[in-house]
Structure 1
Amino acid sequence: MISLMSTLNTASEALMAQEAEISVTNNNIANASTAGYTRETVSLQEAAPTSQGALSVGNGVEVAGITSVRNELLTSRIQQQTSEQGSSDAQVTALTQIQTLFPSTGTSLASSLSGFFTSLSALSSNPTDAANRQTVLSSAQTLVQQFNSVSAGLSGPASSLNTTVKTDVAQINELSSEAASLNQQITSQSATGQSSGTLTDQLGQVETQLASLTNISVTHGTGGDTITTGNGTPLVLAGQSHALQTSTGSDGNTHILDSSGTDITSAISSGDLGGTIQIRDTVLPGLQTSLDTLANQFATAFNSAQASGYTQNGTAGAALFSIPTTVAGSAAAISLTTTDPTAIAASSDGSSGSSGNVANLVALQNSALPSGQSVTTGSANLVYQIGNLTSNATTQQSSISLSLSSLTTQQSSVSGVSIDEESANLIRYQQAYEAAAKVVSTISTLFDTTINMISGS
């Protein structure tokens, strides 16, 4: 029935609606600088009208709830780019350290090779000079030490990278547990009609942190978010988390296992964990193989050239370098077979004054090895290889950073708080509140008038 009382109820509901909007706006302004905060709005709906005969009169407004303004597509893209950034950051950090093993100037594998061949060239002018022969032997020892040193330098990072893998997995498990707990709290609040905006913001922050560690996929459901790795390995299913495990594999590296014990190491493709694994399992082995191949083929070719000549004592030249029977491990194991300067096979005819075989030894500097490259080109390519990897990773890092910054700006325009907009809303809601209060005051005056009329009668 249409009455002053129903009109008063309509005005009262309007007051509560405007009060809610003022309260939410105030909260938005207060959190304008809070990281991860998502702007909230009050969802209003028209109250069911009252019908009296052919007449239908509206009953004002109702608060349907408080909604956080989000763009899930943008959030998903930000998480993806965050994973890529985590990977590129990890790779740049590791590659920058590895690059120090292959300097383009100063003492390096390339300079040691050059020094060795320079000392051999000097020997051709005076093959009987003991000082020249000792210089060749010393240069050979320096070269051997460079191979050994670079190989050790490539082996060293694996240990620290394995530690990083363990640390990342521990952080992933901790964040997954936190996400599961937040899922439970959000579900509980939603079931009782409470706003879960704050908890949802916290969950979003946790998911972004997870994305920085590994590639994830997030699916929203009534029971909470489902979070899996890129290959579908579950991390969080509603209110339950599934911890990853680590185990030392037969290769000596730390492997990642899912909650059922399945090895998923190769499926981790991005995030800090993915970038770390990429360096440890692909880049380092690739560089080590190139180095081992260079050491093995160089030593084999030089020993062969030695065998075609004669020592200062007139005996057939013997191997100067000792290497394993397999290519793997050649750079770490290469060594000199002698400390005797007379063992260098400079002679081509067995006479002590001959230097005919020196040309064969020096020619190895630019002769093609079985790999198709000369030893000089091979060492230069190692420098180029690590430099190119570092440059590409750095370029990718910058590109992803720009993309992520752009996406974050877009998200801020949607979910961020604009002080100007909220201030304007506050004035609008205040005016609406004052208007509703005026209606209440008017109805109150009418009630008083009616009561006085009745009392007067």
Structure 2
Amino acid sequence: MSIINNALSGSLAAQLALDATSQNIANVKTVGYTRQGALLAALGPRGNLHSAGSGVEVSSLMRFSDSYKIHQMWRAASDLGQRSVTQPYLTQLEQVMGDDESSISSGLDTFFSALNAASLEPSSTPLRQQIITAANTMAQRFNTLNDVMRNQRTAIRQQMDAVVPQINLLTKDIAALNEKIASMQATGGNASALIDARDQRIDTLSGLVGVEVVDQADGSRNVSLRSGQPLVIGRTVSTLSLQSNPDGSKTLNVAFANETFTVAGGNLGGQLGGLDDFQRNTLVPLQQSIADIAKEVSATVNAQLAAGFAADGSAGVPLFVFDASSATGMLKVSGSVQAKDLAFSADGTAGDSGNLQKLIGLKDQSIAVSSIGTVLLGDANTQLLGKLGMDSKQNQSLLATAETVRSQAKENWAATSGVNADEEAINLMEFQKMYQANMKVIAVANELFDSTLAMMA
């Protein structure tokens, strides 16, 4: 009887719908799980022109997924990774450069204050010695800051070296999942769990490096860098590597099939892009600028001392030694200089302070600093700190924006793909009623069949 077949198809459809609902409820707290639902379709009459129809079927199990929303979430993850990874470095530099106990500005002020104090009594040995002590303290501040930046460069290289293997592992997983998903969908299987696993890996990958994702007809997803170099094409995966350059920087290479691509820095995105951008555009220029100031201090002070005479009338000797490549400190006080060697006299006369006055005036002399141009010696560090503060503030603002966009993207994704416990509870009751109603129809059909048999007996 068609009534029984219809009811049987309805009860089976209700069971499948309940199965999908139970799966959703079981995964209500599972991160990255995409809810599913049974898509019901009415079956038309089969042969009998007067039949209302042949019941119902579950035409497919549907994943409630919005491609635009998930791609938006991945782009937000890339921006968040890029901004969050650099902020600790910027904050550390701000603290070191702005701290009175370690800042170059404070060291310069102390050095020139010692020169001013000596101008009251140029022949005083303690005051002369105080200048050497202040010069040594200032040099140590240059060296300390340079060491901080050198350590940051080392940390960035190590962090980049750690990120690349993670990327390679994720791309291998994505390629393997592509193969499984394509195979399962080709046979009509439900690949939802595999797709969720792949999307989770792409989400993690996008936090490490900016990616572009393109869906394919067989269910696979192709993944590439923002600049176009392929990472995953179907089942084929690339291998990323970092090449060390003589200047300490890193060049990213992508080996795909039989080709190797060099990736230009500047638009990588994610943590890898953030580290590369910070090192290239902030840290290296800042380190060079600090070296510029140290070099100018050494050159100008030594040149002015060379133009004067010591207390015994001898020619002035250098106070500083500058060596940017030194591992023990790029700026040092000459080990041989003594208090009596400081050339304060302009004409060789004992007690004259003409050259000392010129030394004091060096603070207002213009110097060339690579990242900020021509500035006064006394203002150079302050302007560098101001520029660094602006970079840090801008990054903090972009970080806050990235966090907001990422949060909103996740909420938008969850509104479509996430499990709503209240909605699933309603579905549970509705499909339960559907099942019970169809079972009631079967019971009624059995009664009618029994009645028909009784009439024919």
The answer for the alignment partner of 2:444 in structure 1 is: 442
Give the one of 347, 371, 374 matched to 1:372: 374
Q: Is residue 2:320 matched to residue 1:336?
A: no
Residue type of the alignment partner of 2:333: L
Q: Distance in 2 between matches of 1:60 and 1:355?
A: 109
1:109/1:143 contact within 8 Å kept: yes
Using the TM superposition, give the Cα deviation of residue 450 of structure 1 relative to its aligned residue in structure 2, in angstroms.
Answer: 2.5
Partner in structure 1 of residue 167 of structure 2: 172
Q: Distance in 1 between matches of 2:32 and 2:86?
A: 27
Q: Match of 2:253?
A: 257
Q: Distance in 2 between matches of 1:247 and 1:330?
A: 23
Structure 1: distance between partners of 2:235 and 2:439: 45
- Percent identity over the alignment is 26
1:12 aligns with 2:12: no
Q: Which amino acid aligns with 2:38?
A: V
Which residue in the other structure is 2:221 paired with?
225
Q: Is the 8 A contact 1:301 1:369 kept in 2?
A: no
Secondary structure, aligned partner of 2:213? strand
The equivalences for 1:26-175 within 5 A come to 26-50=22-46, 52=48, 55=50, 57-175=52-170
Q: Report the alpha carbon displacement of residue 334 of structure 1 after superposing the two structures with TM.
A: 2.8
Whole-angstrom CA distance in 2 between matches of 1:137 and 1:319: 12
Give 3-state SS (helix, strand or coil) of 2:126's partner.
helix
Secondary structure, counterpart of 2:239 in structure 1: coil
Displacement, 1:52? 4.2
Per the normalisation by structure 2, the TM-score is 0.92
C-alpha deviations, 1:161-215, integer Å up to 9, x for none? 1111111110011111111111111112211211111111111101000001000
| Partners of 2:254 and 2:230 in 1: CA distance | 8
CA distance 1:278–1:331, change in 2 (3 Å): farther
Quote the Cα distance in structure 1 between the aligned partners of 2:422 and 2:158. 48
Quick one: distance in 1 between partners of 2:48 and 2:330? 99
What residue ranges of structure 1 are gaps of 5+ in the alignment?
Answer: none
Alpha-carbon displacement from aligned partner over 1:278-300 (angstroms, at most 9, x marks no partner): 22222211111211221222222
Distance in 1 (CA, whole Å) between partners of 2:246 and 2:327 is 21
Question: Structure 1: which 4+ aligned runs deviate by more than 6 Å?
Answer: 327-331
* CA distance in structure 1 between the aligned counterparts of 2:153 and 2:262, rounded to whole angstroms: 19
Matching residue of 1:429 = 431
Structure 1 letter corresponding to 2:384:
L
> Per-residue deviation at 1:446?
1.9
| Unpaired segments ≥5 residues, structure 2 | none
SS for the counterpart of 1:420 is helix
Q: What is the letter of the counterpart of residue 72 of structure 2?
A: R
Corresponding residue of 2:292 = 293
For 1:207, which of 199, 202, 205 is the aligned residue? 202
Alpha-carbon deviation of 1:51?
A: 5.0
Aligned residues: 448
C-alpha distance in 1, partners of 2:304/2:241?
A: 53
RMSD across aligned C-alpha pairs, in angstroms?
Answer: 2.1
Aligned to 2:236: 240
Match of 1:303 in 2: 302
**Higher mean C-alpha deviation, range 334-343 or range 420-429:** 334-343
1:331/1:360 CA distance change after superposition, 3 Å:
farther
Q: In the superposition, relative to structure 1, how do residues 17 and 195 fare at CA in structure 2: closer, same or farther (>3 Å)? A: same
CA distance in 1, matches of 2:180, 2:273: 31
1:400-432 per-residue CA deviation (whole Å, 9 max, x = no partner) reads 111211121121111111111111111111111
Contact map agreement 2:107 2:134 (CA 8 A) in 1: yes
* 1:141 partner SS: helix
Structure 1 contact 69–415 (Cα < 8 Å) conserved: yes
How far apart are the structure 2 equivalents of 1:218 and 1:267? 20
Counterpart code for 2:232:
V
- Range 428-437 or range 370-379, more displaced: 370-379
Q: Is the 8 A contact 1:309 1:357 kept in 2?
A: yes
Q: Distance in 1 between matches of 2:223 and 2:176?
A: 13
Is the contact between residue 43 and residue 63 of structure 1 (CA under 8 Å) also seen in structure 2? yes
The CA deviation at 1:329 is 7.8
Query: Residue type matched to 1:201 in 2?
Result: D
1:34 shift after superposition = 0.8
5 Å matches for 1:412-427? 412-427=414-429
- For 1:76, what is the secondary structure of its paired residue? helix
Structure 1 residues 393 and 43: CA distance shift in structure 2, 3 A: same
Aligned-partner Cα distance in 2 for 1:242–1:79: 20
Aligned residue identity for 1:281: R
Do the aligned partners of 1:226 and 1:236 also contact (CA within 8 Å) in 2? yes
Q: Alignment partner for residue 361 of structure 1, among 338, 355, 359? A: 359
Partner of 1:266: helix, strand, or coil? coil
Instruction: Tell me, yes or no, if the aligned pair for 1:70 and 1:415 is still in contact at 8 Å.
Output: yes
Q: What is residue 397 of structure 1 aligned with on the other side?
A: 399
1:384 to partner: Cα distance: 2.2
Matched letter for residue 292 of structure 2:
T
Which of residues 342, 346, 354 in structure 2 aligns to 1:348?
A: 346
SS where residue 265 of structure 2 aligns? helix
How many Å separate the matches in 1 of 2:272 and 2:315? 55
Contact in 2 for aligned 1:179/1:207 (Cα 8 Å): yes
Hey, what's the Cα distance between the residues in 1 that align with 2:243 and 2:297? Answer: 38
Q: Give the match's secondary structure for 1:165.
A: helix
Contact 1:257 1:265 in 2 (8 A): no
TM-score by length of structure 1 reads 0.92
Alpha-carbon separation, structure 1, partners of 2:228 and 2:266: 9
Counterparts of 2:159 and 2:199 in 1: how far apart (Å)? 24
State whether residues 111 and 138 of structure 2, in contact with CA within 8 Å, keep that contact through their aligned partners in structure 1.
Answer: yes
CA distance in 1, matches of 2:278, 2:359: 37
Quote how far apart the aligned CAs of 1:29 are: 1.1
Task: Answer yes or no: is the 8 Å Cα contact 2:225–2:268 preserved in 1.
Answer: no
